[in-house]
């Protein structure tokens, strides 16, 4: 089955979308004419908590400042870090939105793109559940392509050449989404996906990749 995905006032709607509100955001800065900064960049990240482990509620807890540092040694390092992404896509293609696309999520950190610093000001950040060296699932690629297409329709300043990885805007600090991310596959899917619909799952075995 496929389900409709739309963007309404900065929020995704559809059967596969859940909303978990993060406090880690603020408004995008205004330009000289007091018009909010336009979205012109899309940044792809990866995340897994604990590192290399999938599933569970730790990503929700991390982006909502509720991570318990006693539950894992790695959590002691990040429990007090206040960050967020606009969207998170898990291994099954399920989507969680934490911040309105119209607002500034805190996902990029120190960064630059095409001579501009502070990429959070003009970007949308999407986290994929994964690691740099493990293949992403077909469900993730399909959902990511669908959402990207919808974002491009809603924010026309975003062009294909402005879809990048965290590694491209912070190369001295970040490596995600890593060598395991298939950029050509993703780009082909963006061009082929029917606007507003997500790709059908291929096989059950694909979800475990």
For the cut 90, the answer to whether the pLDDT of residue 208 exceeds it is: no
Query: Strands 116-117 and 112-113: what pairing?
Result: antiparallel
Contact (Cβ atoms closer than 8 angstroms) between residue 107 and residue 120: yes
Q: Is residue 127 annotated as a catalytic residue, yes or no?
A: yes
For the cut 50, the answer to whether the pLDDT of residue 209 exceeds it is: no
Q: What is the reported pLDDT for 37?
A: 83
Q: What is the reported pLDDT for 3?
A: 57
Residue 204 DSSP class = G
The mean pLDDT value for 59-87 works out to 97
Task: List the end-to-end C-alpha distance of the chain, in Å, as a whole number.
Answer: 21
Query: Strands 95-97 and 17-19: what pairing?
Result: parallel
Contact (Cβ atoms closer than 8 angstroms) between residue 15 and residue 1: no
Give 44's strand partners.
126, 165
Helix/strand/coil (H, E, C) string of 86-152?
CEEECCCCCEEECCCCCEEECCCCCCEECCEECHHHHEEEEEEECCCCCCCCHHHHHHHHHHHHHHH
Cis peptide before 107 (omega within 30 of 0): no
Phi and psi at 63, nearest 5°, equal -80, -10
The mean pLDDT value for 27-50 works out to 90
Residue 62 DSSP class = H
SS3 8: strand
Q: Which domains does the chain have, with CATH numbers?
A: 6-23+35-208 (3.40.80.10)
The mean pLDDT value for 180-207 works out to 68
Candidates 128, 144, 137, 140; CA nearest to 208 is 137
Q: Which of 8, 71, 117, 127 is catalytic?
A: 127
pLDDT digits (tens, 9 = 90+) for 151-182: 999 999 999 999 999 999 999 999 999 999 99
Q: What is the reported pLDDT for 195?
A: 56
pLDDT digits (tens, 9 = 90+) for 104-161: 999 999 999 999 999 999 999 999 999 999 999 999 999 999 999 999 999 999 999 9
* Cα distances (Å, whole numbers) of residue 88 to 31, 76, 91, 113, 176: 28, 22, 10, 22, 14
């Amino acid at each position: 089955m496929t389900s409709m995905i739309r963007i309404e006032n900065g929020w995704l709607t559809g059967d596969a979308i859940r909303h978990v509100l993060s406090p880690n955001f603020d408004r995008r800065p205004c330009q000289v004419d007091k018009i909010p900064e336009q979205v012109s960049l899309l940044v792809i990240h990866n995340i897994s908590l604990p590192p290399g482990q999938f599933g569970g509620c730790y990503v929700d807890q991390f982006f909502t400042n509720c991570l318990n540092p006693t539950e894992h040694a790695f959590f002691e390092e990040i429990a007090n870090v206040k960050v967020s992404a606009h969207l998170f896509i898990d291994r099954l293609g399920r989507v969680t939105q934490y911040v309105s696309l119209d607002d500034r999520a805190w996902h990029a950190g120190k960064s630059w793109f095409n001579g501009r610093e502070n990429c959070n000001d003009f970007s949308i950040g999407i986290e994929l559940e994964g690691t740099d060296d493990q293949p992403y699932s077909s469900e993730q690629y399909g959902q990511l392509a669908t959402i990207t297409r919808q974002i491009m329709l809603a924010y026309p300043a975003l062009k294909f050449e402005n879809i990048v990885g965290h590694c491209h805007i912070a190369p001295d600090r970040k490596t995600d989404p890593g060598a395991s991310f298939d950029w050509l596959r993703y780009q082909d899917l963006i061009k082929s996906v029917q606007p507003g619909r997500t790709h059908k799952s291929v096989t059950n075995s694909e979800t475990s990749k």
